[in-house]
Structure formats: structure tokens, C-alpha cells
Amino acid sequence: MSSGVTFVPGFRASGVSCGLKKNGNPDFALVVSDVPAACAGVYTRNVVKGHSLQLCAKHSALGTAQAVAINSGCANACLGQRGADDALKMAQMVAQKVGCPVSQVLTGSTGVIGEPLDMDKIADGVQKAYAALSTQGGEAAAHAIMTTDTLCKQVSAQCTLGGKTVHMGAMAKGSGMIHPNMATMISVITTDANISAETLKVLIKDVADSSYNHICVDGDTSVCDTVVILANALADNEELLPGQEDYQAFVQMLKEQCLKLARMLAGDGEGATKLMEIHVNGAASKQDAKLIAQAISKSPLVKTDLFGEDANWGRILTAAGYSGGCFDPEKVDLYINSIQVCGQGCALAYDEAAVKQTLKKNAVTYRLELNQGTASDFMLGCDLTLDYVKINSDYRT
């Protein structure tokens, strides 16, 4: 059984080493659809944008794609015309191999900023990756897009729509520089559903908002964040359109898979030992809940405290307090997993040993009940650890 992007009929993929990564790990991934596919993407909102991403955004806006080529080990960013030229060359090489127009090739690059792509290595990567394309290649592709990820991240699912089986597969990478206000990291989603590029365009933004945009690893937003979806229509279902029951089922499947990937991404944050979920309920507005959840998820003090498996919950209230979200501090209840530690803004005499115990889990949920209204939001984050600092203080060396 094939996994990830090649779980879907009509897609082949591969992941190879072309020498961009000094350690020799796979660093070039290729995903190809047997037929031209409808496509859409969401991209970083950073003012600074990688060159490969800029080309990808331009091509995906046309609505049809047949290949996605992604290298790791180099971001191809902040290089002026040279960076733009290199991204285009990469797309041209892939187009020539696949036999499709260059505008149907989507490109991605992830790694260090400011260093130019070694185009000889890229040429080698395209050559090898094309030769290695396989209906079993999803996992290899997912490996080749990893940077500081410790786990390969892919999901797949299927459902029956109008009597036809519709498949979906996806891979994602990214563990540092992950924060909302962007699509987040690099993710490629494949499906054999019959759905138009116009419909996908609206849908993918909605899906990213409800999954990837709830992740915060370090509050930084990369210049290369990309989510693209390709739909090759080989399932032969009736075209999915908003309003249909089938469309809803498809959307739900897509959101669930992306949320699964989002949890994997947060839990595999650089150096992370724990997934941290923050749920803010009872807010007067969605915006209040969002600001509060985001501030807590970004707070280095909250994150280091979780690493220490310590219940210094004042830091959580402190972060809520400076978030810009409105609430009455004297109405807040705070729970660590199922244990309430603070009631109406005041310390409770909770069982310290029980809290210590619950903080040892791999996933910890902080839940704030603001008791102001009915709006809620959540964030997925992780702890801030010694390894995070180690990884990021000698990333280039």
C-alpha cells in the first residue's frame, strides 16, 4: 500500500540526494500527476518571499499543474534576479523531463537564505528524481523535503462520493520558523477528486486557516511557506461544488488530514519534547480568543516552563494579559489537562503532585475559560528546549 502523496491513483513521486545537503541526506523531491491536474496554493504573507515560491505562486495561479519539484538544503531566497532565474531553470528542467509546459511545474525550496542554488546539483536532482518516480514514492518524497524535521510527515484518507472512491494524500515538512500569518511550511496535497481550480483556490485558504495556521513553533514566519493541492479528477466523481453534501464530506476529509499534519508539525517542532495545545473558550469574540491563544503559544516563558514540566501557570495568565485580547482577569479559569489550577483569576489549592504527573505526558493542553462569551480558538505549539537552542545556534555549521 502506497502512502502520502502516492496513496492517490495517478500520482508518482520520488525523493533523491543531489548533494545540496552536506550530510548526504535526500534533498530533492518530485511529485508528478499522470495527467494535468487542477491546482491551487496558499503562500507566505512575509514581505520577503523566496524565489522558488514566487514562481510557484505565479504558476499555481494559472490553475493547472502536472509536477511539483522541491529541494531542501537551500531556500533560494534574497538572491535577486539570479534566484528568479534559477527557480525558472529548475522548472524548465522538470518540464522537459515530464513533457509538460513549464507553467505546469510548481517549485519549492527550503533551507538557508542568501546562498544561491547549485544548479549543477539541481540538474542532477531532476535527472535522478525523474528516473526514480514511482507509485510507491510518496514516503521518499516526504523524506527529501525534510530540513530539521525528525519525523517524516504524511497522511492519507479516502471516502466514497456519489459511488466513487475519492483518495487524498499529503506530505508536509517544517519544524522551525512556523507560525500563522502564512500557509506555514511546505505541504503538498494530492487527490483524484474532480474539483475545479476555482473551487480549490477558495478551499485551500480555508483549510490552511483551520489547520496549519494554528501552529506556532517559534513565532517566526518563513519566507518559503507553501501549501499546494493538485486534483487530477481520475476518481471520475461528479464535479465537487460548494453547497453539495459530497463537497462537505470532501472538505471535512481534507481538513481532518491537514489538522493531523498540523499536530505532527507542532509536536515535531525543533527540539520539542511535547505537543502543547492551547484552547481558549468563552471569549467575547473570536479575535480575542485568537490573540490570547497565540500569545500563550509564542511565550518563551510558557514554553520553557512546559519543557521543565513545571506548573508555573502565572506565565500563562501573564501571556493572556499582554496578548491584546480582551478579558476580565478576575473571571478566568485555567486548566492544565483536566486539572484546574486557577479559578476566577486566583490561585487554587490544587494537587501539585497530580499536576507534575500530568505535565509528564507527550501532549499537554492548557485550557482557559474566560467566562465572557461563547467564542473560542486554539493553537498547536510545543515546548522550548535546550535542543531548540542547540539546533538553531549552529544550523549552518
Q: Which residues are tagged catalytic?
A: 184
Kindly state whether residue 339 participates in binding a second copy, applying the rule CB under 8 A.
no
Give the nearer residue to a second copy in terms of CB position, either 178 or 195.
178
Kindly state whether residue 148 participates in binding a second copy, applying the rule CB under 8 A.
no
Give the nearer residue to a second copy in terms of CB position, either 112 or 249.
112
Query: Which listed residue (140, 319, 370, 380) binds a second copy by CB under 8 A?
Result: 319
d(CA 357, CA 336): 11
Q: Exposure pattern of 321-333 as b/e (b: 16+ CB <10 Å)?
A: eebebebeeeebb
Kindly state whether residue 46 participates in binding a second copy, applying the rule CB under 8 A.
yes
Query: Number of residues in contact with a second copy, rule: CB under 8 A?
Result: 66
Task: Say whether 68 sits in a helix, a strand or coil.
Answer: strand
Backbone angles phi, psi at 210, to 5 degrees: -95, 0
Give the nearer residue to a second copy in terms of CB position, either 56 or 320.
320
The two beta strands, 275-283 and 363-369, are: parallel
d(CA 154, CA 172): 6
Kindly state whether residue 397 participates in binding a second copy, applying the rule CB under 8 A.
yes
d(CA 152, CA 141): 9
Kindly state whether residue 357 participates in binding a second copy, applying the rule CB under 8 A.
no
Give the nearer residue to a second copy in terms of CB position, either 73 or 176.
176
Q: What is the residue-wise DSSP string for 199-241?
A: HHHHHHHHHHHHTGGGB-SSS---TT-EEEEEE--TT-PPPB-
Q: Smallest gap, in angstroms, from Cβ of residue 145 to a second copy?
A: 19
Amino acid letter, residue 129: A
Kindly state whether residue 218 participates in binding a second copy, applying the rule CB under 8 A.
yes
Kindly state whether residue 374 participates in binding a second copy, applying the rule CB under 8 A.
no
Task: Say whether 381 sits in a helix, a strand or coil.
Answer: strand
Report residue 132 as a C-alpha cell: 526514480
Kindly state whether residue 77 participates in binding a second copy, applying the rule CB under 8 A.
yes
Element (H, E) at 315: helix 314-322
Identify the CA nearest to 299 among candidates 387, 383, 385, 183: 383
Binding to a second copy, residues 149-188 (CB under 8 A): 176-177, 179, 181-182
d(CA 395, CA 208): 28
Query: Which listed residue (35, 62, 151, 346) binds a second copy by CB under 8 A?
Result: 346
Kindly state whether residue 351 participates in binding a second copy, applying the rule CB under 8 A.
no
Query: Which listed residue (299, 368, 369, 370) binds a second copy by CB under 8 A?
Result: 299
Query: Which listed residue (26, 169, 219, 381) binds a second copy by CB under 8 A?
Result: 219
Query: Which listed residue (62, 131, 241, 347) binds a second copy by CB under 8 A?
Result: 347
Task: Catalog residues that contact a second copy under the rule CB under 8 A.
Answer: 45-49, 75, 77-80, 112-116, 176-177, 179, 181-182, 218-223, 298-301, 304-305, 307-308, 310, 312-315, 317-322, 326-327, 329-330, 342, 344-347, 384-386, 388-390, 392-397
